[in-house]
Each structure stands twice: as structure tokens, then as C-alpha cells.
Structure 1
């Protein structure tokens, strides 16, 4: 099913909810809304994901701005944590729309999941990696995780 066919098949109320999710950058919620809109047969996951991309492009001028992720802003987020971080950790993650670089703060105490500070989804990783290094330097903590090579398997796409 093409994005246009799926869009025209959706009830008006579902279209409005899909667009509301897309504008708030909640594409997976938009996909869920499409799949649960009562269409028979139920639209496929990839068809819904493709339509979410199309709607994101159409509504680009209305998207909620991404949060600031500069060193000063992230240092403020780190300062608001219950304890100062002992390290920062970078991790690659992939989703239906590409690679994501996650930056988390490791807190003292028993090992657990790092507290999220930032996430970047793009193709030029120079600025996010430089921001993470500068933040680690400012906080005086080590930066762990991947180097400057980009996401794993990125060349295999």
C-alpha cells in the first residue's frame, strides 16, 4: 500500500491524531495509531512507517523544535541529576529511520542504565561527538563508548 493510499483510507479522526503525533515527533505513536485505526486488512508496519516519514516531510514547518543539545544545556541537565556523574557514556542504537547516538550520564553506586542526557539522529556525527567530548571535559569525567568511526554497520546500508 502506498503512503497516499493508506492516508486516504484512514478515517479523518485517525488522520488528525496521526498528524498530532507527527508534529510532536512521536512517529511510533503515529504508526500505532494507523495500525489501530480499524482498517481491514490492517496496514503493515512498514507501510505505516513510510507514511509517517511522508507526513513528517509534509508537516516539517510545524514540527516541535528539537531540544537544545549544546554543551551548556547538557551541563545544566547533568547538574540537575541527583548526583554528579562519574562518567559519560555514548551508545549507538538503530531504529526504522536510521542510527541514533545516545549520551548518558553514569551515576555513582551500583551499575545501572545511564541517565539520558541527549540523543542525536543524523548522518554527520562530528558535532555530536565533539559536544560529548566537550561536556565530559567540562564535567571532568571520562567519556566511554564508540569512537569517531560512526555507527556500526553504517557502510552496509
Structure 2
């Protein structure tokens, strides 16, 4: 899969943490998250991103047009015990998939996903997971992602 003309792909670096966080904030806002909670999580998330980009716990890819980041996605690399689903301990959790509104509909998210999945395969990852917005589900379904039986409990701070 090739990018449309005028777009370039590059790996994210720690210097991109602010741009990734801005996209992350926009993504959560677009999905209807409470804006006060988005604002409250932004600074701690940015701090986490800086560290994870620096230590390799998070890898990102960005698409630029005219020198400006217009899309991005990343992978959180996880070490979990092997199971019947995957005998390798390395897993991938894809997050921060975002395309700026004027650039949507050009296949940029699909391109980002293909790049990330290629990296997952190169690292020997057998299991990749993500949480999908309603808007993103068709892209992930085309890439053979399937819904799972995951459950969640949100604990209140003590």
C-alpha cells in the first residue's frame, strides 16, 4: 500500500510527544469523552509518552503533509505470559490511531495500520489488540480484527 502523493511517513521520536498527545486529545474529544477528563489526562499522558518513546516501550509512526503531522498511530509493546492463544510473550496493543479531519477518507489509517502490523510481524508478535471507535471499526474489520470477550472494571481512586 502506498501513500497518496504529497504525504510522507516517518517514525515518531521523543520530540514528537507533543504532536502525538495533541492527536490523542483530539481523538478522545472526537469520540465524545468528557472534555474535563481529556484535559485532566493530557499532561500525565504526555509525560508517559515522552518516557515510553524514549525507552522503546511505545513505537509510533506519523504521516506528514507539507511538513505538518496529519496522522499517526502507535504500538505499546507488552510482555505477558504465553498462553494457548500465543506462545510468545511479546504482544502489541495498538493505540493513538488518528487522522486529522481534512485528511480522512484517503486510506491513511489503513496505511498506518499496515506499517504497524508489519513491525509486529517482524518482532514475532502473534497477538495484536486495540480498542476501536465506531468510526474505526470498519478499518480494523478489513484487517481481520475480531471482537473479543474483554471485560473492564473502573476503580475509583481511594
TM-score (norm 2): 0.28
Q: With a CA cutoff of 8 Å and minimum separation of 6, indicate the structure with the bigger relative contact order.
A: 2
TM-score by length of 1: 0.28
More helix per residue? 1
Larger radius of gyration between Structure 1 and Structure 2: 1
Write 1 or 2 for the structure with the bigger share of strand.
Answer: 2
